[in-house]
């Protein structure tokens, strides 16, 4: 039990490091637009992963989940939005919350569709929105997303049904509430359900979700998925590193990486094959799970691509596709 608790602590501490908030989406704004390189036809809407947020802290000293990424896109002409859903809950609950925010963004901008980008649990979450609102979605981009689940979630769920389940779930639900509180919100303003979140990201739970939401998903074990269905374009990219900078706190992901394919081909939480979805832009960046959103505070391998650059280039890809 002590080992399970240790893994659980590493898992949530690592993800939580990657996040002000209101009751819905927030637009990234900038006083200086330097180019139209990233100016897409439709707004780009970002969704955080498990234990995520829009930003934590004050306006002057806040930590954005997608660190430095949205402001850079805004400087290059993009209309970008960050969304907030329950830090810990099922994909369906998070998806309904995101769908409401998509409708709000469309009403505010007058756009007909959005380009959705989801990191980690945000990947299945944006896929849910495409399933229920396909006419509102221009593209989906899944980043380090456990589309076929993660063995880490299965390990955590081993506590289910044991004597430690109730106290463990209570502690992690408290963490979820603290993340909400740290964004300046009532901790009870979002529903928190650790077991529902874990089950959604388990291998079995992901398979059940995929049977209902097939858009963009590969038909073989480790292949690309369809590039386009129902007028929606699909993309993905991910990393395959664990320790990418010895000074970075996210090096703790090395422990969880060993639980996936003997430590091979994964970003510390999600395997390369599980992350593949739609057109795979690249599935071997020297990034770990937090590097994928430029965390913690931009620390990464000195020779690895800058995530800010990669997202800017992807926005240009969407622009050139007419999205």
Banded pLDDT at 15 (limits 50, 70, 90): very low
Task: Please tell me the pTM assigned to this model.
Answer: 0.91
Specify the pairing of strand 80-83 against strand 26-27: antiparallel
Measured in residues, the chain has a length of 323
Active-site residue identified among 14, 120, 139, 271: 120
DSSP letter assigned to residue 258: T
Q: Helices 165-181 and 2-17 sit at what angle, rounded to 10 degrees?
A: 10
Residue 2 has pLDDT above 60, yes or no: no
Question: Which stretches of the chain are DSSP H helices?
Answer: 2-17, 69-75, 91-109, 122-132, 151-156, 165-181, 194-201, 203-212, 253-257, 272-275, 307-320
Query: Which range among 1-15, 146-160, 284-298 has the greatest average pLDDT?
Result: 284-298
Active-site residue identified among 193, 248, 265, 267: 267
Asked if residues 310 and 316 have their Cβ atoms less than 8 Å apart, the reply is no
CA neighbor of 174 nearest in space, from 194, 160, 159: 194
For tokens 């002409």, name the residue.
77
Catalytic residue flag (residue 289): yes
Asked if residues 195 and 166 have their Cβ atoms less than 8 Å apart, the reply is no
Going from the C-alpha of 263 to that of each of 256, 260, 267, the distances in angstroms are 8, 5, 9
Looking at every residue in the chain, the average pLDDT score rounds to 90
Active-site residue identified among 48, 119, 289, 314: 289
Residue 196 has pLDDT above 80, yes or no: yes
Structure token digits, residue 154: 């299965």
CA neighbor of 80 nearest in space, from 88, 72, 92: 72
Asked if residues 245 and 299 have their Cβ atoms less than 8 Å apart, the reply is yes
pLDDT for the residue 123: 98
Residues 6+ positions from 132 with CB-CB distance below 8 Å:
95, 99
Question: Going from the N-terminus, what domains does the chain have, and what CATH number goes with each?
Answer: 2-320 (3.40.50.1820)
Residue 85 has pLDDT above 60, yes or no: yes
Residue 52 has pLDDT above 70, yes or no: yes
pLDDT digits (tens, 9 = 90+) for 230-272: 999 999 999 999 899 888 898 899 999 998 988 899 999 999 9
pLDDT for the residue 59: 63
Catalytic residue flag (residue 267): yes
Residue 13 has pLDDT above 50, yes or no: no
Catalytic residue flag (residue 120): yes
Specify the pairing of strand 114-119 against strand 279-285: unpaired
């Amino acid at each position: 039990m002590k080992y399970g608790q240790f893994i659980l602590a590493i898992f949530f501490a690592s993800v939580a490091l990657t996040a002000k908030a209101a009751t819905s989406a927030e637009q990234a704004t900038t006083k200086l637009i330097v180019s139209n390189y990233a100016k897409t036809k439709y707004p780009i809407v970002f969704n955080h992963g498990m234990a995520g947020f829009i930003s934590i802290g004050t306006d002057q000293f806040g930590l954005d989940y997608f660190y430095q990424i949205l402001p850079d896109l805004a400087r290059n002409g993009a209309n970008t939005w960050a969304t907030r859903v329950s830090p810990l809950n099922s994909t369906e609950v998070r998806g309904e919350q995101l769908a409401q925010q998509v409708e709000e963004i469309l009403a505010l901008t007058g756009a007909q569709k959005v380009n959705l980008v989801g990191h980690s649990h945000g990947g299945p979450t944006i896929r849910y929105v495409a399933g229920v609102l396909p006419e509102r979605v221009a593209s989906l981009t899944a980043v380090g997303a456990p589309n076929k689940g993660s063995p880490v979630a299965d390990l955590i769920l081993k506590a289910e049904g044991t004597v430690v389940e109730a106290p463990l779930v209570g502690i992690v639900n408290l963490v979820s509430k603290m993340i909400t509180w740290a964004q300046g919100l009532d901790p009870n303003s979002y529903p928190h359900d650790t077991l529902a979140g874990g089950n959604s990201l388990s291998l079995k739970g992901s398979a059940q979700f995929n049977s209902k939401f097939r858009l963009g998903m590969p038909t073989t074990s480790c292949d690309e998925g369809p590039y386009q269905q129902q007028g929606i374009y699909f993309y993905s990219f991910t990393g395959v590193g664990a320790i990418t900078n010895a000074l970075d706190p996210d090096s703790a992901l090395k422990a969880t990486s060993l639980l996936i394919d003997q430590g091979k081909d994964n970003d510390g939480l999600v395997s390369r094959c599980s992350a593949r979805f739609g057109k795979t832009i690249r599935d071997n960046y020297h990034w770990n799970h937090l590097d994928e959103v430029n965390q913690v505070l931009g620390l990464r391998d000195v020779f690895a691509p800058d995530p800010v650059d990669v997202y800017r280039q992807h926005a240009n890809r969407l622009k050139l596709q007419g999205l």
